[in-house]
C-alpha cells in the first residue's frame, strides 16, 4: 500500500512541477522531426528518439526530482517516516517508467508503427528503470544540478556509444550483453529478444540494488534508521 501511495504521490509531484509538460514538448518536437525525415531513415531515427528521450531522459529527470526533493526537505521527512528505501526507489522508477512508455508509444506510432507492443513496452520500461536508477545513484552524491550533469556524462557515454554503434552496423555478439543494445533490440523488434530481456533484468537487479543501498545510506544520514 505504501508503494501505491508513493507512486501516486510521485505522479502528482511530476505533474505539479511540469515534468509531463516537458515530456509533451519533447514528444511533439520529435514527432515533428519524424515528419520531415526521409522514409528510409525514419525507423532508425525513431529508435534513437525512443532510446534518448523516454528512456535516457529518465536519468536527468530523476536527478532533477531528487535535487528538488532535497531542497524542499522532502527526503528528510521520508527518512524518519515508515517508508522504506526500497519502496521509495521502486515508486520513483515506476512513475518515470510509465511516463516513458506513454511518450515512447506516441513517438513510435507516429513513425513506422510498433511490430511487437509487448517487447517495445518491456524495452522502454526496463530501460527507463535502469537509467532512472543510475540517475538516483548519481543524484544522491550531487549537491547542485550542474554537478549532477557533469557526473552523468561518463554514464551517458558508456551507455549510449555502444548502443548507437550497434544500431548503425557494429553488431558484434558481445554487445548483446550491453544494456543499451538490449533496449534497442526490444524496441526495434530485434533477433535476440529473450537474451535482451534476461540481460536487462540482470542489469536492473544490480543497479536497483545499488540505488536502494545508496538510499538507505542517505536516509540514515538524515536521521532515519530502517532497512
Q: Is the pLDDT of residue 190 over 80?
A: no
More confident residue, 56 or 177: 177
**CA distances (Å), origin 203, targets 41, 73, 127, 130, 183:** 30, 31, 10, 7, 12
> What backbone phi and psi angles, to 5 degrees, belong to 190?
-75, -170
Q: How many CB atoms lie within 10 A of CB 91?
A: 21
DSSP annotation of 74 reads H
Is 43 within the bounds of a domain?
A: yes
Whole-number mean pLDDT of the chain?
A: 82
Give a yes or no: residue 107 inside a domain. Answer: yes
Q: How far apart are CA 131 and CA 162, in angstroms?
A: 15
pTM above 0.85? yes
Contact yes or no for 161/171 (Cβ under 8 A): no
Mean pLDDT calculated for residue range 31-41: 79
Q: What percent of the chain has pLDDT over 70?
A: 94
Boundaries of domain holding 161: 2-221
Question: For 82-125, how does the pLDDT look when each residue is reduced to its tens digit (9 = 90+)?
Answer: 778 888 889 889 888 888 888 888 877 776 667 788 998 898 89
CA–CA distance, 14 with 25 (Å, rounded to integer): 15
* Residue 51 near residue 123 (C-beta atoms within 8 A): no
DSSP letters for 30-49: HHHHHHHS-HHHHHHHHHHH
What pLDDT does residue 198 have?
95
CB contact at 8 A, 180 and 159 = yes
For the stretch 9-28, what's the b/e string if a residue is b when 16 or more beta carbons lie within 10 angstroms of its beta carbon?
ebbebbeeeebeeebeebbe
The tally of domains found in the chain comes to 1
Give the pLDDT confidence of 151-177 residue by residue, as tens digits.
888 888 888 888 888 888 888 888 889
User: Domain for residue 22, yes or no?
Assistant: yes
User: Distance (Å, rounded) from C-alpha 75 to C-alpha 89?
Assistant: 12
133 and 55 in contact (C-beta within 8 Å)?
no
108: nearest Cα among 34, 194, 206, 199: 34
Please tell me the distance from the alpha carbon of residue 126 to that of residue 53, in angstroms, as a whole number: 14
- Structural domain contains residue 227: no
d(CA 93, CA 145): 20
- pLDDT of 5 higher than 80: yes
In a domain, 226, yes or no: no
Whether 203 is in a domain gets the answer: yes
Amino acid at each position: 500500500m505504501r508503494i501505491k501511495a508513493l507512486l501516486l504521490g510521485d505522479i502528482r509531484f511530476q505533474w505539479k512541477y511540469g515534468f509531463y509538460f516537458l515530456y509533451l514538448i519533447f514528444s511533439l518536437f520529435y514527432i515533428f522531426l519524424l515528419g520531415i525525415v526521409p522514409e528510409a531513415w525514419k525507423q532508425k531515427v525513431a529508435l534513437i528518439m525512443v532510446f534518448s528521450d523516454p528512456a535516457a531522459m529518465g536519468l536527468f529527470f530523476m536527478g532533477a526530482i531528487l535535487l528538488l526533493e532535497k531542497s524542499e526537505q522532502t527526503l528528510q521527512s521520508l527518512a524518519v517516516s515508515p517508508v522504506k528505501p526500497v519502496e521509495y526507489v521502486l515508486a520513483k522508477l515506476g512513475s518515470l517508467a510509465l511516463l516513458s512508455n506513454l511518450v515512447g508509444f506516441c513517438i513510435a506510432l507516429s513513425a513506422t508503427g510498433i511490430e511487437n507492443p509487448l517487447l517495445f513496452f518491456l524495452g522502454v520500461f526496463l530501460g527507463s528503470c535502469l537509467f532512472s536508477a543510475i540517475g538516483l545513484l548519481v543524484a544522491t552524491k550531487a549537491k547542485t544540478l550542474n554537478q549532477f550533469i557533469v557526473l552523468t556524462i561518463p554514464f551517458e557515454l558508456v551507455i549510449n556509444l555502444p548502443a548507437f554503434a550497434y544500431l548503425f552496423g557494429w553488431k558484434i555478439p558481445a554487445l548483446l550483453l550491453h544494456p543499451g543494445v538490449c533496449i534497442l533490440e526490444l524496441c526495434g523488434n530485434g533477433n535476440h529478444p529473450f537474451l535482451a530481456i534476461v540481460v536487462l533484468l540482470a542489469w536492473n537487479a544490480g543497479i536497483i540494488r545499488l540505488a536502494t543501498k545508496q538510499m538507505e545510506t542517505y536516509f540514515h544520514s538524515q536521521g532515519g534508521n530502517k532497512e
